[in-house]
Amino acid sequence: MTDTPPANQPAGYVPAKVWQPKSNPAGTFGSINSPVSGARFDQALPVGRHPLQLYSQGTPNGQKITILLEELLAAGHEGAEYDAWLIDIFKGDQFGSGFVGLNPNSKIPALVDRSTDPVTQVFESGSILVHLAERFGAFLPAEGRARTETFNWLMWQVGSAPFVGGGLGHFYGYAPFKIEYAIDRYAMETKRQLHVLDTHLASHEFLAGDQYTIADMAVWPWYPGSLYGVYDTHEFLAVEEYRHLLRWYEAIAARPAVARGRVINRTSGAPGTVLRERHDASDFDALIPAPL
């Protein structure tokens, strides 16, 4: 490559023959991003008293798991009691030796299930959802078309969300400068995904049909949750025009377990929306304003 594109950003940039990382990378996560994996410091993970130990942050991927856990408890599954420990990804907690030993990919969420012998370690949000749903026999149809449909939409979300978070969310909200081409590319794809969901939900109560499943819990924090919340792109993308998607979104938002699950392991937000860690159901009492 010898000619620089006329609208190149930054001006004059031409990719090197062999890429090398910058000594001072820019962007929100620039100081913690690295081209190699592995632990960067020694730090053991804390362990609470419950069978399930969750290590996470209240991002859309983290919310999937705490929503399911709260739904399981609401459905009467006492064995789903859990400790939710905060892994602050903005501070680099995910690179501690304990967390890397649990998830070599250094991404939240990760789960330790101490009710099994031997202990089960699970990482990747989709895998954790399936593990818990199968462990308790809930929110995942046992057989037939509904089970397949649940997996269809769960896998769709796992494969599609990077276009929203790492794509639109990054270039619209986190990149050190705006790149029209990148924002247009990912806005186009995010709009297409919203239309996929809106079209499907025009004739289905939930993603897998008439059953509320882990597929709904996986998609809900992202579409349109992340667009209202962490990336603040709802106006930019005209999210309000997807009325069938919003019907579904608001119905799930009204569930008490979802209202609890969405606030856990948050590090910022309005009063009543942040519960940094959850170790007992009574922890939610701190979110309720005291009577005058």
Contact 92, 32 (CB under 8 A): yes
pLDDT band at 291 (very low <50, low <70, confident <90, very high): very low
Reported as a pLDDT band with limits 50, 70 and 90, residue 24 is: confident
* Residue at 21 is within a domain: no
| Residue 212 lies inside a defined structural domain of this protein | yes
8 has pLDDT over 90: no
pLDDT single digits (tens) 28-53:
777 788 999 999 999 999 999 999 99
Cα-based angle 35, 126, 154 (whole degrees, multiple of 5): 120
Q: Which two tokens stand for residue 260?
A: 């609890």
Report the percent of the chain where pLDDT is more than 90: 84
Checking if the pLDDT of 9 tops 90, the result is: no
Q: What is the mean pLDDT of residues 271-284?
A: 94
Q: Report pLDDT digits (tens) over 97-122.
A: 999 999 999 999 999 999 999 999 99
Beta carbons within 8 Å of 96's beta carbon, 6+ residues apart: 39, 40, 41, 42, 43, 44, 45
**Residue 214: CB partners within 8 Å, gap ≥ 6?**
68, 129, 130, 133, 139, 140, 150, 154
Q: Considering the domain boundaries, does residue 124 fall inside one? A: no
pLDDT given at position 4 = 54
**Domain membership flag for residue 215:** yes
Closest-CA residue to 206 (of 280, 154, 268): 154
Least Cα distance to 230 among 36, 72, 61 occurs for: 61
CATH number assigned to the domain comprising residue 179: 1.20.1050.10
pLDDT of 255 > 50? The answer is yes
User: By residue range, what is the domain housing residue 242?
Assistant: 144-257
Q: Across all residues in the chain, what is the average pLDDT? A: 93
Is 199 a residue whose pLDDT tops 60? yes
Contact 201, 247 (CB under 8 A): yes
Rounded mean pLDDT, 67-81: 98
Q: Whole-angstrom Cα distance, residue 28 to residue 99?
A: 22
Q: Is 223 a domain residue?
A: yes
Mean pLDDT of 261-277: 94
Rounded average pLDDT over 134-145: 96
- Residue 142's pLDDT is 94
Helices (H), the chain: 60-74, 97-102, 125-136, 144-162, 180-201, 214-219, 227-228, 243-253, 256-261
* Averaged pLDDT for residues 134-147: 96
What's the total number of domains in the chain? 1
Query: For residue 235, what pLDDT is reported?
Result: 96
Look at residue 292 in the predicted model and tell me its pLDDT: 35
Residue 45 makes CB contacts below 8 A (sequence gap 6+) with 53, 55, 85, 96, 98, 99, 102
Omega before 291 within 30 of 0, i.e. cis: no
pLDDT of residue 288: 65
Confirm whether 213 is domain-assigned.
Answer: yes
**Domain-embedded: residue 266:** no
- Mean pLDDT, rounded, for 262-275: 93
Asked whether residue 101 is domain-assigned, the answer is no
The long-range contacts involving 174-180, CB below 8 angstroms and separated by at least 24 positions, are 174/27, 174/28, 174/29, 175/27, 176/26, 176/27, 176/30, 177/9, 177/10, 179/9
